[in-house]
Chains A and B, each alone.
Chain A
């Protein structure tokens, strides 16, 4: 059974940093691209970042380029998102998703709140 478990969310002040983790199980992690998708309170889904199975290729939406860094450790079956220079508009539930034909499996999400 595929499982994705996010962690690392919390309350952070504007300008602060946070690192999200997503631990995967139930599939060959290194074979699949992975994505982070977020959802601000009461809003729709926004794709944030993606990474190839090897980790060689990384992609970002414009609003997070230069501030967020996606990475993965295939030996630990774990996906990461380092978020720096956080802004109020980054407040959202962050989901990791296994990126096969879009996102076939999703985690339950972790809430990031950026507020003073």
Chain B
């Protein structure tokens, strides 16, 4: 199985800050990675697919990048509604696997 190592586990930031979350795949997955946002008590919401493509309706302050097996989600100019938990998921192969999650908290 492909392992996804996500970091950091938690992150404290302020409104207006720029933050980055990374995921490293245990083997090559090309660009087949998605990012999800989850708020307490809610279903996950897809933010990004194919490493750096925004889902429809997702603000452009979210962006993704890839370098080899390292993937990064960057949020510029954090807004109050961005404080949530973020997950990466590879869909290059079955079983699909998620990162452990990053909880983004208000500083």
Binding site for B on A (CB under 8 A): 35, 37, 44-47, 50, 59-62, 95, 99, 101-109
Contact = CB atoms under 8 A, between A and B. Distances in A.
Given A62-B1, A101-B32, 13 more contacts: A44-B101, A45-B101, A47-B98, A50-B94, A59-B94, A62-B95, A95-B44, A102-B32, A102-B36, A102-B49, A104-B46, A104-B55, A106-B46
Q: Which A-B residue pairs are the 6 nearest by beta carbons?
A: A102-B34, A101-B49, A59-B94, A47-B96, A106-B43, A44-B101
Contacts of B33: 102
B89 A103 contact: yes
Nearest to A49: B95
B98 A105 contact: no
16 contacts: A44-B101, A45-B38, A45-B44, A45-B89, A45-B101, A59-B94, A60-B95, A62-B95, A101-B91, A102-B49, A102-B91, A103-B44, A103-B46, A104-B46, A105-B46, A106-B45
A107 to B, nearest CB: 7
B87 interface: yes
Interface in B31-81: 32-34, 36, 38, 43-46, 49-50, 53, 55
Contacts of A106: 43-46
A46 B97 CA distance: 7
B7 to A, nearest CB: 13
A104 B49 contact: yes
Contact of A47 (B43, B50, B95): B95
A35 B53 CA distance: 21
A59 B95 CA distance: 7
